[in-house]
């Protein structure tokens, strides 16, 4: 799907670059105002990406470990898939 606002297209590119297996294992789901903006015809401009995860669970602990041990940069293969789309993250 292509959006009118280029910034929203970049958010979709970012989401496609994320390792969905890691997010599933961590029980983390895309949510918040940006999800609503994209689902409801870009009724507003949204600049952030929110994930919903249950605090105090093994999934949340797993996510914290992945991020704090490997960092959040593009090179962390546990977070990002290695695709040509990932060039946006540089």
Contact by Cβ (8 Å): 81, 19: yes
pTM above 0.85, yes or no: no
30 bridge partner residues: 51
Task: Give the span between the Cα atoms of 54 and 63, in whole angstroms.
Answer: 11
In sequence order, which residues have a C-beta less than 8 Å from that of residue 79 and are 6 or more positions away?
Answer: 18, 19, 22, 66, 67, 70, 72
Cα dihedral sign, 38-76-54-58: positive
Mean pLDDT of the chain: 86
Map out the domains of the chain as residue ranges. Answer: 6-80
The percentage of residues in the chain with a pLDDT greater than 90, rounded to a whole number, is 58
- 43-81: pLDDT as tens digits: 999 989 999 988 888 998 999 898 888 877 666 778 887
């Amino acid at each position: 799907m292509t959006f009118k606002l280029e910034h929203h297209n970049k958010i979709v590119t970012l989401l496609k670059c994320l390792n969905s297996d890691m997010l599933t294992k961590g029980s983390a789901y895309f949510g918040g105002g940006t999800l609503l903006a994209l689902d409801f015809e870009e009724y507003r401009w949204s600049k952030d990406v929110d994930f919903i995860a249950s605090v105090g669970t093994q999934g949340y602990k797993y996510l914290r470990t992945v991020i704090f041990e490997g960092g959040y940069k593009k090179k962390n293969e546990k977070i990002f898939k290695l695709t040509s789309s990932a060039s946006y993250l540089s």
